[in-house]
Protein backbone atom coordinates (compact mmCIF):
# COMPACT_ATOMS: atom_id res chain seq x y z
CA UNK A 1 0.00 0.00 0.00
CA UNK A 2 1.05 3.69 -0.12
CA UNK A 3 2.13 6.02 2.64
CA UNK A 4 0.54 5.83 6.05
CA UNK A 5 -2.60 7.95 6.49
CA UNK A 6 -1.95 11.28 8.39
CA UNK A 7 -4.95 10.80 10.64
CA UNK A 8 -3.22 7.93 12.46
CA UNK A 9 -0.02 9.82 12.93
CA UNK A 10 3.34 8.07 12.86
CA UNK A 11 6.11 6.91 15.14
CA UNK A 12 6.28 4.55 18.15
CA UNK A 13 3.15 5.74 19.95
CA UNK A 14 1.03 5.06 16.90
CA UNK A 15 2.52 1.54 16.53
CA UNK A 16 1.78 0.72 20.14
CA UNK A 17 -1.82 1.84 19.77
CA UNK A 18 -2.27 -0.32 16.69
CA UNK A 19 -0.80 -3.35 18.48
CA UNK A 20 -3.10 -2.81 21.47
CA UNK A 21 -6.18 -2.54 19.25
CA UNK A 22 -5.19 -5.70 17.39
CA UNK A 23 -4.79 -7.61 20.64
CA UNK A 24 -8.22 -6.47 21.87
CA UNK A 25 -9.73 -7.57 18.56
CA UNK A 26 -8.23 -11.03 18.90
CA UNK A 27 -9.55 -11.38 22.47
CA UNK A 28 -13.06 -10.49 21.29
CA UNK A 29 -13.06 -12.63 18.12
CA UNK A 30 -11.80 -15.87 19.70
CA UNK A 31 -14.69 -16.22 22.20
CA UNK A 32 -17.18 -15.36 19.46
CA UNK A 33 -15.77 -18.06 17.24
CA UNK A 34 -16.09 -20.53 20.11
CA UNK A 35 -19.74 -19.56 20.69
CA UNK A 36 -20.55 -19.86 16.98
CA UNK A 37 -18.92 -23.30 16.75
CA UNK A 38 -20.75 -24.51 19.88
CA UNK A 39 -24.14 -23.22 18.73
CA UNK A 40 -23.78 -24.65 15.24
CA UNK A 41 -22.77 -28.03 16.68
CA UNK A 42 -25.72 -27.97 19.09
CA UNK A 43 -28.12 -27.16 16.27
CA UNK A 44 -26.84 -30.08 14.21
CA UNK A 45 -27.22 -32.43 17.16
CA UNK A 46 -30.80 -31.35 17.83
CA UNK A 47 -31.64 -31.56 14.12
CA UNK A 48 -30.34 -35.12 13.70
CA UNK A 49 -31.81 -36.36 16.98
CA UNK A 50 -35.19 -34.67 16.84
CA UNK A 51 -36.19 -35.05 13.20
CA UNK A 52 -38.52 -38.02 12.53
CA UNK A 53 -37.40 -40.48 9.85
CA UNK A 54 -40.04 -42.00 7.55
CA UNK A 55 -40.43 -45.77 7.44
CA UNK A 56 -42.35 -48.13 5.22
CA UNK A 57 -42.82 -50.72 7.98
CA UNK A 58 -46.51 -51.19 8.93
CA UNK A 59 -47.41 -49.93 12.38
CA UNK A 60 -46.88 -52.75 14.89
CA UNK A 61 -49.98 -54.26 16.48
CA UNK A 62 -50.16 -53.97 20.26
CA UNK A 63 -49.10 -57.10 22.17
CA UNK A 64 -50.88 -58.31 25.33
CA UNK A 65 -54.07 -56.31 24.67
CA UNK A 66 -56.48 -55.26 27.40
CA UNK A 67 -59.57 -57.38 27.77
CA UNK A 68 -61.99 -56.08 25.13
CA UNK A 69 -65.48 -55.01 26.11
CA UNK A 70 -68.01 -56.50 23.72
CA UNK A 71 -71.76 -56.93 23.73
CA UNK A 72 -71.71 -59.09 20.61
CA UNK A 73 -71.70 -62.89 20.28
CA UNK A 74 -69.45 -64.85 22.60
CA UNK A 75 -69.29 -68.54 21.62
CA UNK A 76 -67.67 -70.68 24.30
CA UNK A 77 -66.35 -73.55 22.19
CA UNK A 78 -65.04 -74.33 18.73
CA UNK A 79 -67.92 -76.75 18.14
CA UNK A 80 -70.31 -73.77 18.21
CA UNK A 81 -68.62 -72.26 15.14
CA UNK A 82 -69.51 -74.99 12.63
CA UNK A 83 -72.67 -76.45 11.15
CA UNK A 84 -73.06 -80.25 10.84
CA UNK A 85 -72.66 -79.85 7.08
CA UNK A 86 -69.28 -78.15 7.50
CA UNK A 87 -68.06 -80.81 9.93
CA UNK A 88 -68.99 -83.48 7.39
CA UNK A 89 -67.24 -81.56 4.60
CA UNK A 90 -63.89 -81.95 6.38
CA UNK A 91 -64.00 -85.71 5.83
CA UNK A 92 -61.13 -87.42 7.66
CA UNK A 93 -59.90 -84.24 9.36
CA UNK A 94 -61.01 -83.78 12.97
CA UNK A 95 -61.43 -80.72 15.17
CA UNK A 96 -58.62 -80.10 17.67
CA UNK A 97 -56.89 -83.52 17.62
CA UNK A 98 -54.86 -84.18 20.76
CA UNK A 99 -51.46 -83.66 19.12
CA UNK A 100 -52.12 -79.99 18.24
CA UNK A 101 -51.99 -79.06 21.94
CA UNK A 102 -48.25 -79.76 22.06
CA UNK A 103 -45.95 -76.76 22.37
CA UNK A 104 -44.09 -77.75 19.20
CA UNK A 105 -47.19 -78.44 17.09
CA UNK A 106 -46.72 -75.18 15.19
CA UNK A 107 -50.30 -75.05 13.87
CA UNK A 108 -52.12 -73.03 16.48
CA UNK A 109 -52.11 -69.65 14.73
CA UNK A 110 -54.45 -68.44 12.03
CA UNK A 111 -51.74 -66.29 10.43
CA UNK A 112 -48.08 -66.31 9.46
CA UNK A 113 -47.67 -62.59 10.17
CA UNK A 114 -45.45 -62.13 13.26
CA UNK A 115 -47.19 -58.96 14.49
CA UNK A 116 -50.66 -60.45 14.17
CA UNK A 117 -49.39 -63.70 15.68
CA UNK A 118 -48.13 -61.79 18.71
CA UNK A 119 -51.56 -60.24 19.18
CA UNK A 120 -53.19 -63.67 19.03
CA UNK A 121 -50.68 -65.13 21.51
CA UNK A 122 -51.15 -62.18 23.88
CA UNK A 123 -54.94 -62.35 23.95
CA UNK A 124 -56.50 -63.92 27.01
CA UNK A 125 -59.91 -64.11 25.36
CA UNK A 126 -59.85 -66.34 22.29
CA UNK A 127 -60.72 -69.73 20.83
CA UNK A 128 -58.19 -71.82 18.91
CA UNK A 129 -59.77 -74.23 16.45
CA UNK A 130 -57.58 -76.57 14.40
CA UNK A 131 -58.71 -79.09 11.80
CA UNK A 132 -56.09 -81.77 11.24
CA UNK A 133 -55.40 -85.45 10.91
CA UNK A 134 -56.09 -87.48 14.03
CA UNK A 135 -52.88 -89.44 13.38
CA UNK A 136 -50.59 -86.41 13.66
CA UNK A 137 -49.12 -83.58 11.67
CA UNK A 138 -49.41 -83.65 7.91
CA UNK A 139 -49.39 -81.30 4.95
CA UNK A 140 -53.12 -80.65 5.27
CA UNK A 141 -55.08 -78.61 7.79
CA UNK A 142 -56.88 -75.45 8.83
CA UNK A 143 -56.17 -73.25 11.86
CA UNK A 144 -58.63 -70.59 13.05
CA UNK A 145 -58.31 -68.21 15.98
CA UNK A 146 -61.43 -66.40 17.16
CA UNK A 147 -60.09 -63.38 19.05
CA UNK A 148 -62.13 -60.74 20.85
CA UNK A 149 -60.62 -57.32 20.12
CA UNK A 150 -61.23 -53.68 20.96
CA UNK A 151 -62.22 -51.23 18.20
CA UNK A 152 -58.67 -49.87 18.21
CA UNK A 153 -57.18 -53.35 17.83
CA UNK A 154 -59.64 -54.22 15.09
CA UNK A 155 -58.58 -51.12 13.14
CA UNK A 156 -54.91 -51.96 13.70
CA UNK A 157 -55.42 -55.54 12.48
CA UNK A 158 -57.17 -54.33 9.33
CA UNK A 159 -54.40 -51.81 8.65
CA UNK A 160 -51.81 -54.55 9.04
CA UNK A 161 -53.67 -56.85 6.64
CA UNK A 162 -53.90 -54.10 4.03
CA UNK A 163 -50.19 -53.29 4.45
CA UNK A 164 -49.39 -56.98 3.95
CA UNK A 165 -51.03 -56.81 0.53
CA UNK A 166 -54.18 -58.78 1.27
CA UNK A 167 -57.38 -58.21 -0.67
CA UNK A 168 -59.85 -56.58 1.75
CA UNK A 169 -63.53 -55.85 1.13
CA UNK A 170 -66.82 -55.51 2.98
CA UNK A 171 -68.80 -58.71 3.35
CA UNK A 172 -71.46 -60.19 5.66
CA UNK A 173 -71.65 -57.06 7.79
CA UNK A 174 -67.89 -56.95 8.42
CA UNK A 175 -64.49 -56.67 6.73
CA UNK A 176 -62.99 -59.67 4.92
CA UNK A 177 -59.30 -59.92 3.92
CA UNK A 178 -57.89 -62.86 1.93
CA UNK A 179 -54.70 -64.05 0.27
CA UNK A 180 -53.86 -67.34 -1.44
CA UNK A 181 -50.86 -68.83 -3.22
CA UNK A 182 -49.38 -72.06 -4.54
CA UNK A 183 -45.87 -73.35 -3.85
CA UNK A 184 -44.05 -76.67 -3.56
CA UNK A 185 -46.15 -77.55 -0.51
CA UNK A 186 -49.44 -77.02 -2.35
CA UNK A 187 -52.19 -74.45 -1.94
CA UNK A 188 -52.13 -72.27 1.13
CA UNK A 189 -53.58 -68.98 2.21
CA UNK A 190 -55.24 -66.88 4.88
CA UNK A 191 -58.74 -65.56 5.45
CA UNK A 192 -59.54 -62.86 8.02
CA UNK A 193 -62.91 -61.51 9.09
CA UNK A 194 -63.56 -58.57 11.44
CA UNK A 195 -66.97 -57.70 12.85
CA UNK A 196 -68.48 -56.51 16.17
CA UNK A 197 -65.29 -56.92 18.21
CA UNK A 198 -64.53 -60.37 16.80
CA UNK A 199 -61.56 -61.26 14.63
CA UNK A 200 -61.57 -64.61 12.79
CA UNK A 201 -58.02 -65.39 11.68
CA UNK A 202 -57.72 -68.49 9.50
CA UNK A 203 -54.67 -70.09 7.87
CA UNK A 204 -55.05 -73.15 5.66
CA UNK A 205 -52.83 -75.60 3.78
CA UNK A 206 -54.33 -77.94 1.16
CA UNK A 207 -57.65 -77.91 3.01
CA UNK A 208 -60.68 -75.77 3.71
CA UNK A 209 -64.11 -76.59 2.34
CA UNK A 210 -65.85 -73.92 0.26
CA UNK A 211 -67.81 -71.51 2.42
CA UNK A 212 -65.71 -72.16 5.54
CA UNK A 213 -65.65 -68.55 6.76
CA UNK A 214 -69.27 -67.97 5.71
CA UNK A 215 -70.32 -70.98 7.78
CA UNK A 216 -68.58 -69.62 10.89
CA UNK A 217 -70.18 -66.19 10.41
CA UNK A 218 -73.63 -67.76 10.00
CA UNK A 219 -73.23 -69.70 13.26
CA UNK A 220 -71.62 -66.95 15.33
CA UNK A 221 -74.15 -64.33 14.30
CA UNK A 222 -77.12 -66.66 13.99
CA UNK A 223 -80.34 -64.64 14.00
CA UNK A 224 -78.49 -61.32 13.67
Task: Render pLDDT for 115-170 as a digit per residue (tens, 0 to 9).
Answer: 999 999 999 999 999 999 998 878 889 999 999 999 999 999 999 999 999 999 99
- Looking at the predicted structure, is the pLDDT value of residue 92 above 80? yes
The DSSP H or E segment spanning 191 is strand 186-195
Distance CA 71, CA 83 (A): 23
Share of the chain above pLDDT 90, in %: 55
Of the candidates 128, 126, 89, 87, which has an alpha carbon nearest to the alpha carbon of residue 105? 128
Share of the chain above pLDDT 70, in %: 65
The dotted CATH code for 78-220 is 3.40.1000
Distance CA 84, CA 82 (A): 7
Q: How far is the first Cα of the chain from the last one, in angstroms, to the nearest whole number?
A: 101
pLDDT at 6: 32
- Looking at the predicted structure, is the pLDDT value of residue 173 above 50? yes
- Looking at the predicted structure, is the pLDDT value of residue 43 above 80? no
pLDDT at 101: 79
- Looking at the predicted structure, is the pLDDT value of residue 56 above 60? no
Largest CA distance in the chain: 118
pTM for the whole thing?
Answer: 0.69
- Looking at the predicted structure, is the pLDDT value of residue 72 above 90? no
Q: How high is the mean pLDDT of the chain? A: 76
Amino acid sequence: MGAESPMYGSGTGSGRRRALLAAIGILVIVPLVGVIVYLSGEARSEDSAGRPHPTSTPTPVAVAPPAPITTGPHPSSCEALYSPAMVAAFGDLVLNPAWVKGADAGVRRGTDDPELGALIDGSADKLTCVWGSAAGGSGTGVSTNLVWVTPEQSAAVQARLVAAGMNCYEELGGMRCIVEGVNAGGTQGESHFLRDGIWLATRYVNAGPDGYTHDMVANIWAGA
